[in-house]
Structure formats: structure tokens, C-alpha cells
Amino acid sequence: MSECTHDCSTCSSKDCKEKKDFKEKQNELSNVKKVIGIVSGKGGVGKSLVSGILSVLTKRKGFKTAILDADITGPSVPKMFGLTEKAQAMDDKFLLPAITKTGIEVMSINLLLENENDPVVWRGPVIAGAVKQFWTDVVWNEVDFMFVDMPPGTGDVPLTVFQSLPVDGIIIVTSPQELVSMIVGKAVKMANLMNIPVLGIVENMSYYKCPDCGKEISIFGESKIEETASEFGIKTVAKLPIDSKFAALSDGGNIEEFSGDYLDSVLEEIIKLK
């Protein structure tokens, strides 16, 4: 038997024991219509920020929106939205997501920990199991778009999300560095293995705009994001600048006050899925 790629839809083996549908069913109280994965090949590039902003923008368009925080060991979504209350149980069987000020549903491990600073010291399979439970055991109600904020890389959790959830597309988040082509390539190839379309790419920390003269300064070097997108056949590109307002909104739990049209092109691609 050839080496397993975990993509059963393209497997030609007749005796493969893994050839089955890994998708986990939603519970009978949930109805999530579209799932968008927010991914990257490395950490610290702003996946959570992009997840938060996109959920806010889709909510403003009148859609019912949710975030599943799959970054179990580094959760930051509740902090961005100013969520401090813990998730509540329902009938000792299900969990209820937290609701933000504007009505976005959120589930994160930090909503279950006694203290938000408590570390999650779990091995990969346990972390992957928790992500599955966030999908199967949380009452998500009626959700038009769910954004899954994933940890970096192509390990257990991204694989679990791609195999277990009905992911309709991914957004790749990166930063302006020489290694970006290789890092983006890993995310694209993993998505291709799972037959999941890449909806767009966001370059965070792309530039700094001088408040005096308005000149855009490439602090981390000239962007190559257009060339990278072209190399991998990604049509939609967006850029987020370095802006202290973003950090202030996130740290203060006020990401829902975000303003700007930086991600509008990506938002359009997401809405097309509806």
C-alpha cells in the first residue's frame, strides 16, 4: 500500500482500513452552514486577529457568525472580544457558547478554564479531541459563517479540523518575510490534499503608514505577497498594516469596534459561499 495522505477521497487502495468518512456530525440543536478555516504555516502572524475581524465584518453584513477557537494551547479569541464569563453547560450534555456584545458566538478553551492564564498541558490526541467536541458538543444554533482559528502548522489540530469538520474554504495568514513562499506553500498543499479551496491570503504587518506624510513604509521588507499568491493560484490578496489601534482593540476586548476596508476583498470571497 502506498503511503497514506489522509485524503480518503483520492485513495485508490481497495483494502485501506482508513477509507471512511471522518466527518463529525453536528448535534441536533446546531445548524452551522459554512465553515472557514483561518490557517498559517507559522505562529505569530495574526490568525486570531484576522479571525476576529472577519467575524465582525460578516456580522455587520447581517450574517449570523461564530468563532471556534481551535488554538487550544494558545487561545486568544475571548480576550479580543472582552469575554470573561465561563461557558455554561446545558442538560449535562451540551455546552452553550459565549455571546459577544454584537451577538457573535464563541467557544474557546479559555471559557472552560478556571483562570485564563492556566496552561493547557495536553498531548496532541487530547487537544484534537477537544476541538472535535467544540464542534459536536456545543449548541451553535443557526450560524451562517463559522470561523475556525487554528494553531500554526500542519499537525494534529489542522488535520483534525480538515477531516472532522465540513470546511468550505481556508484563509491563509502570513507576514512579509523571505520565507513566506515556503510557509504559504505548506498550507496550500495541505488544503489541496484535503480538497479544500483556498479563498484568499492575508498579509498581516504588511506596512506601516506614516501618520505625518502618509507614506507606506515596508518595515519587514518589500512585500512579495502578490508573487506568492500568483505562484499558488490564489486570486484574492489582502494586506493589514502595522497599526497600534489593532493591538489596542484586541488587548482591550474591543475588536468589534474595528474599522477599515483592508479585508473587504477576502470578505467578498467568503460571502460568495453563502
H or E element at residue 201:
strand 198-203
pLDDT tens digits, residue range 230-256? 999 999 999 999 999 999 999 999 999
Report CA-CA distances (Å) from 16 to 50, 60, 176, 193, 265. Answer: 38, 46, 42, 17, 41
Query: How high is the mean pLDDT of the chain?
Result: 90
Q: Determine contact, residues 102/96, Cβ cutoff 8 Å.
A: no
Q: Determine contact, residues 201/263, Cβ cutoff 8 Å.
A: no
pLDDT recorded at residue 11 = 56
Provide DSSP, 10-56.
G---SS-TT-S--PPPPPTT-EEEEEEEEE-SSSSS-HHHHHHHHHH
Q: Is the pLDDT of residue 12 over 60?
A: no
* Percent with pLDDT over 90 in the chain: 70
Residue 8's pLDDT band (cuts 50, 70, 90): low
Q: Is the pLDDT of residue 177 over 60?
A: yes
Q: Determine contact, residues 164/35, Cβ cutoff 8 Å.
A: no
Q: Is the pLDDT of residue 113 over 50?
A: yes
Q: Is the pLDDT of residue 5 over 60?
A: no
pLDDT recorded at residue 218 = 92
pLDDT recorded at residue 88 = 92
